[in-house]
Each structure stands twice: as structure tokens, then as C-alpha cells.
Amino acid sequence: MSAMFRHVAMFRWTADATEQAKAAAVAGLAGLPAEIGAIREYRFGPDAGLAETNWDFAIVADFDDEAGYLTYRDHESHQRLLANVLRPVISERAAVQYTFDA
């Protein structure tokens, strides 16, 4: 077994986030693995709606190590997506990073 590094982010949309804005967020996220080689696995999607208190959307990203995560976090494509597409429609965000055995 080898250790890997995982990043999990969850957020809530703003009250005025349109379906078009949410679709743009999904499209932008879908493009990141092709642009950021440090990403090993990248999964994301909307909440299934089974509990009222759940967050609206989640992202799970796996990397070889912490350095891979930092590459992703600071990458210009990720930062541009955050600034131009995600932050304008996110009201709250929570995140955690941890090491796990693969």
C-alpha cells in the first residue's frame, strides 16, 4: 500500500446561482484534470438531496502527495476557475485534506 493525499471541498450555492452558472462550474471543473497533471482522481457532483442540511455540491480530488495537492491548489487554471466562475456563486465552503492508504 502507498499513501496518497485527498482534498475534499463542499459548498453551497448562492440563492441567485442560476442553472447556467452551475453548469459553467461543472464544465470548468471537468476540464481541470486535463490541465493539471498532478490530479490522480477527480470526482465531483451535486448533492443527492436526501437531507435538507447537506451541502449543495462536493469535490473529491486525489494526489500522489501533499505537493501534488499544492500544485493543484495554486495552478493558474484552478485559480482562474475559482475567481471567475466558482466564487461568484458560492455562499459557503468547507474543505479538508488528509492522507490515506491506497
Asked whether 95 and 11 are in contact (CB, 8 A), the reply is: no
Please count the structural domains in the chain: 1
Distant-in-sequence, close-in-space partners of 79: CB < 8 Å, separation ≥ 6:
none
Model pLDDT for residues 12-66, shown as the tens digit of each residue: 999 999 999 999 999 999 999 999 999 999 999 999 999 999 999 999 999 999 9
CATH number of the domain bearing residue 66 = 3.30.70.100
Asked whether 81 and 9 are in contact (CB, 8 A), the reply is: no
- The 3-state DSSP class for residue 10 equals strand
80: cell is 482562474
Residues spanned by the domain of 41: 3-101
Model pLDDT for residues 61-94, shown as the tens digit of each residue: 999 999 999 999 999 999 999 999 999 999 999 9
Alpha carbon 50 to its chain centroid, in Å, reads 21
